[in-house]
Chains A and B, each alone.
Chain A
Amino acid sequence: MPGSSKLYGYSGKILRVNLASKEVKIVKLERDLARAYLGGRGLNVARLYYEVPPGVDPLSPENKLFFGVGPVVGTGFPLGARLNVTAKSPQTGILGDSNVGGHFAPELKYAGFDQVVIEGRSDRPIYLYIHDEAVEFRDASGLWGMTVSKTYEAIRRELREPEVQIAAVGPAAENLVRFSGIFFNRSRPAARTGLGAVMASKNLKAVAVRGSGYVEVAKPELFEKIVEEIELEVFSHEQYWPRRVMGTSRILMAANRIGILPGKHFTEPEVPYAFNVSGEMLALKYNVKNRACFSCVVPCSRVFVVKRPGQAFIGEGPEYEALAGMTVRIGNSDLEKALKAVETVNELGMDVISVSEVISWAMELYSTGALSREDVGGLELEWGNMDTVMELLHDIAYRRGFGDVLADGVAAAAEKLGKGFEVAFHVKRLEMIQADPRGLKGYGLGFAVSTRGADHLRSEPFIELSDDPKIGLKMFGVSEATLRLGVRGKGRLVAYYENLCALVDSLGVCKNLAENMNILDYEKTARLIEAVTGMGLSPARVEMIGERIVNLERAYDVREGVRKRDDTLPRRFLREPLKVGGSAGHVIELDVMLEEYYDVRGWDKKTGVPTARKLEELDLVDVAEDLRRRGLIS
């Protein structure tokens, strides 16, 4: 049958670019890898595991940068346009991985590639222009030093191509700030785990991509049917309109109600000024229109205009993490100043979550007197002092004065200063997000075990915010599992959603659909995979792909030295109960949940290392062999 060897949903090709030798190789996508890992995150980590050996310096030419696209990307599936970027992280020394929306991923697929592997280091600043299976190495010496939006504009003008999609790094990455990100068309970053620094360390300022290709799905009729079903479920979902009006910024008020805000560095779980800095306030006074990622029917991004004469500006966003980070976490109640700060962080090219942690950490130490004004280079680091914050943002990005101390992340800053260890809120050296795990215990467990460090997007057990015991009983057999203050069943909850997250990140689907709206379960995912790729997989096999990816990532981390001792949370969350708010009196009972989690995962309870049996069960025989050879499993 003609075309029977075709990989539907895929472009079927991998691009390998060596920046040192300027060599370009286009190779076929391995069919068995596509079957085992689907694409995106799974495909990236598979290659990272086999191609980047342990001990490699993340900022050396030996590290590799992977851009991966899933099979759903570029089709008309709603909420399916995510790109996954992977490398060894310079921030954490373990898996570096970040997922981003926008329009880059489908453009890459239309240009002919499911994955781009960037190797080596260029001898001078360059940027890549990928168009329809051709790759140009273009001089970027004139772009070096430019902020993110200036780079975006300059490249668009230079290429004379309005439809080009651009991934660029800002000045922070050039200065190897360890939490710098890669920014896609200005305001969509793959920010976590410092991948911007990896890209800049290769002297690569940007990747521009334009493609005129197409994607075909294997079973068009089934695909149309699934799309119609999903559309209907999305449009009738209770979260549809709140998301469309406020995006994730809506979470701020909700977090205030249940007392999980990170106010003043996790000491104020509710704040009296929450409404003034909320998504609701943004929608009331600032938002002017909605924007969406490619092929998405939930336009959850918002364009805002600050209309104050003399200080007026237009921008996009912010999402909850940025909003809470530049307001309550640093004790700031001025929304307009926060918007400016978020824009500045994006322009400089940093991860706003990590930035908010290093600044609020310094502010807490300053407020308790542990850091004096001399220690911080004369800065006035009182809570909410936004003039200082704006100054400090630039100091961090350009590694000046006290900013240089903070630019390697909060764990490194504590080590450099020899103080503040117990209030440095990170897991595996990745800074914590804007939610207090004492009031969201599933999230807390997720932070502790996440394969990239403290982060919610590895598991996103959003369902526990429903506080509906019936769901827990139905999905996990334990009613407590979906109560946010419950403890039992959380291991199962987190493992389930970790697998699902790995799966949708590999397909290229947005977590708003799969996790937050809870629309995509394994059964629907199996049908979707069948419609797009033609692969007939049972729901159990599909879940296994997710589990395989999580285990491979864990194996990668284990090979880099991660053990059970690293699966923990900062002391404040384990020992100091919340004093006020909707979660008052709670600490997080991590040990109990961790025990259950390892049980569900089939990992060694003493060491936290995946067992050989588990790995072999997931067809990771060679990984088991590799770990055995290194003496990590028996």
Chain B
Amino acid sequence: MCLYTFPQRNMRCPYAPMVTHVVVDPSKCSGCRYCELWCSYIHEKVFSTSRSRIRVVKDDITGMDFPVVCQRCEQMSCVSECPTGALYVDERGQLKLEMGKCLRCGVCSEVCPYGAVFQDPADGSPLICDLCDGSAVCVAKCPTNALSLYPVSEVVITGVESLGKRFKLAVSEYRKLLERWGIRARIE
């Protein structure tokens, strides 16, 4: 459970039932790992990049800074492969971990296609994004606005066909950017 005490951010996210995960705009990420630090602080009460549920993958030759975090993918292998049912999806659609049942076997971490299930270096228990119960400290703390909750809103783009193939191409590409800013785009 996330005990979140920042005065101006203690508001629960109003879209919480709809929001499923954190999205990333890597062109904005500066690689400062502020998200990692405050994630570990909120969840584990210490500052540690190894106890975070979001990790920035970096490469200094190409200048890459790419935050990796649970994407709530459809297959959810972490849940289906969990041998004891410790990882489950609750009635609100939230990913939950029941620590008492967890064997620390690391299967969830292994099967995650994104490598977004991390293991606590001390006891091997899984570290998976729980959106801080909707308030997502990483999103709140990101200094470059590279992280967003998804989907916080939806736009419907209609009549794409009537505007021709260039418009259709542009919309389908731009939609990817919109998604990285938390906006789900439905093309009709």
Residues of A within 8 A of B (CB): 74-76, 78, 103, 106, 110, 149, 152-153, 162-163, 185-187, 211-217, 220-221, 224, 228, 231, 235, 288-299, 301, 303, 314, 316
Contact = CB atoms under 8 A, between A and B. Distances in A.
B40 interface: yes
Contacts of A75: 37, 47
B49 interface: yes
B123 to A, nearest CB: 12
A314 B58 contact: no
A163 B50 CA distance: 10
Nearest to B40: A214
A293 B41 contact: no
B110 to A, nearest CB: 16
B27 A289 contact: yes
Nearest to A210: B50
B27 A293 contact: no
22 contacts: A76-B41, A110-B49, A110-B50, A152-B60, A152-B61, A163-B49, A163-B58, A212-B48, A213-B48, A214-B40, A214-B51, A215-B47, A216-B47, A289-B30, A291-B30, A291-B63, A291-B65, A292-B30, A292-B32, A293-B32, A295-B32, A299-B144
B21 interface: no
A224 B140 CA distance: 14
Contact of A224 (B6, B46, B63): B6
B158 interface: no
A577 to B, nearest CB: 43
Nearest to A166: B60
Contact of A303 (B5, B48, B63): B63
A214 B32 contact: no
Interface in B37-58: 37-38, 40-41, 44-51, 57-58
B46 A215 contact: yes
Contact of A297 (B27, B47, B59, B143): B143
A76 B37 contact: yes
B49 to A, nearest CB: 7
B113 to A, nearest CB: 18
A217 B31 contact: no
B45 A220 contact: yes
A292 B28 CA distance: 11
A112 to B, nearest CB: 12
A292 B34 CA distance: 10
A299 B47 contact: no
B33 A224 contact: no
**Which of A103, A291, A316 has the most CB atoms of chain B within a 10 A radius of its CB?**
A291
B47 A74 contact: yes
Contacts of A298: 143
Contact of B32 (A185, A216, A221, A296): A296
Interface in B131-157: 143-144
Interface residues of B, number: 32
B75 interface: no
**Interface-centre pick from B44, B45, B48, B62 (highest chain A CB count, 10 A):** B48
A371 to B, nearest CB: 38
Given A76-B37, A292-B30, A299-B32, A213 B61 contact: no
Contact of B48 (A149, A214, A224, A289): A214
A214 B50 contact: yes
A106 B49 CA distance: 9
B121 interface: yes
Nearest to A316: B63
Q: Chain B CB within 10 Å — which of A103, A220, A288 has the most?
A: A103
B34 A217 contact: no
Interface in B1-36: 5-6, 27-28, 30-34
Contacts of A303: 63
A111 B73 CA distance: 33
Given A291-B30, A295-B34, A295-B37, A314 B63 contact: yes
Contacts of B47: 74-76, 214-217
B69 to A, nearest CB: 16
Given A76-B38, A290-B144, 8 more contacts: A78-B143, A213-B50, A215-B48, A217-B47, A289-B30, A291-B63, A292-B32, A294-B32
Contacts of A162: 57-59
Contacts of B33: 103, 294-295
Contacts of B65: 291
B34 A212 contact: no
A224 B5 contact: yes
Interface string B164-176: 0000000000000
A287 to B, nearest CB: 11
A613 B168 CA distance: 80
Contacts of B48: 110, 212-215
Contacts of A186: 60-61
Given A78-B34, A214-B40, A220-B45, A153 B61 contact: yes
The 3 closest A-B pairs by CB, nearest first: A299-B30, A214-B48, A303-B63
Nearest to A79: B32
Contacts of B61: 149, 152-153, 186
A539 to B, nearest CB: 25
Contacts of A152: 60-61
A185 B60 contact: yes
Contacts of A76: 34, 37-38, 41, 47
B58 to A, nearest CB: 7
Contacts of A301: 30
A314 B38 CA distance: 31
Candidate in B32, B41, B46, B58 with the most chain A CB atoms within 10 angstroms: B32
Contact of A214 (B5, B34, B46, B62): B46
Contacts of B30: 289-292, 296, 299, 301
